[in-house]
Amino acid sequence: MSSALSSALSDLSALSATAAPGDGALLGVRPADLALALVAGPLAVAGAAKLVTAPEKLSWPLRSGLLAAPAGPRLVGTAELASTAAVVLLPVRWGAAVACLAYAVLTVVAARTRGQKCACFGLARLAAVGRAHIGLNAAAALLAGAVLALSDADARPLPRAAATAATAALTLAALLTADRRRARAASTAPPCTAQVRSVRLYVADDCPSCRSLKHLLSTGEPERLAAVTMVTVAKEAELPGALHGLGVPCATGLDASGTPVCAPASGIGAVKALIDGITLASVPAVPADHRAG
């Protein structure tokens, strides 16, 4: 497999360095330019999404330092758009170097924020940061690194910009499709009529949202807080069962026997609402059919 990959990359390098416009290219776009467009398109969408979204609406994982909200999303989005412009305008090797560095940084950030809600593309309802995020960022860094090592073609901004616009459009279409599916699934979920007697809450030590939620809960009723079991998720661990793909903090409601009931909750607001809805032992239980109306 590695020999086949090396052979393919060698072919890409040869075509990029020696071919005239249109020779060995796809619709006039050289293979190296196409490879850079594949990594520049998602970067452009991510940067634009952060700039057009109000920072307070983002599940931004950084709460302190230069990159903390509200300035952090703006700075990161601007850097992503600047990197996209560099990838498009510079000669292949320099553009590839910028892309490789950008995605290497994103890979490290994804690894450090694993399990938290993804704010990569603004308000898009994506799964929590996990293996897919880390793997895709690493793959983009490797692709850019391969172009950096194997091609020294000159700059051709117009074909590369056109290809980048196409990959950005495809990225945006994929995000909108995924977002609509998640919104549809959430809107068609049946209402929960079960009695929630306790809550199992999942948090992480390096999760700013988890710390904010703990602060909110600290002022709650002692009996209600006693019904919450807090589970700290290790950095590399996956959330169990129906919680898989959610970010922390998240929680699941339990009935009197400890069996999960209703759909899991994710995010500060939803988890707080679930905990506030616990039926306390001191309060008589209301039959489900009475509450459903």
Helix H or strand E encompassing 199: strand 198-203
> Which residues lie below 8 Å from residue 231, measured CB to CB, with a gap of 6+?
200, 201, 202, 203
Q: Are 147 and 203 in a shared domain?
A: no
Least reliable range by pLDDT among 15-29, 159-173, 215-229, 267-281? 15-29
Backbone dihedral angles phi then psi of residue 56, each to the nearest 5 degrees: -70, -15
Q: Are 166 and 207 in a shared domain?
A: no
Q: Which of 136, 155, 187 is the last residue of a domain?
A: 187
| Domain CATH number, residue 238 | 3.40.30.10
What's the pLDDT tens digit per position in 148-190? 999 888 888 999 999 999 999 999 999 888 878 877 766 665 6
The residue range of the domain holding 288 is 198-292
User: What is the bridge-based pairing of β-strands 260-266 and 198-203?
Assistant: unpaired
What's the pLDDT tens digit per position in 108-123? 988 887 777 778 888 7
Helix H or strand E encompassing 263: strand 260-266
Q: Are 163 and 207 in a shared domain?
A: no
Query: What is the number of structural domains in the chain?
Result: 2
Is 73 part of a structural domain of the chain? yes
Is 192 part of a structural domain of the chain? no
What's the pLDDT tens digit per position in 14-71? 434 444 444 445 556 799 999 999 999 999 999 999 999 888 777 777 767 788 778 8
3-class SS letters over 49-111? HHHHCCHHHCCCCCCCCCCCCCHHHHHHHHHHHHHHHHHHHCCHHHHHHHHHHHHHHHHHHHH
Is 193 part of a structural domain of the chain? no
Q: Are 44 and 66 in a shared domain?
A: yes
Is 265 part of a structural domain of the chain? yes
Q: Are 18 and 95 in a shared domain?
A: yes
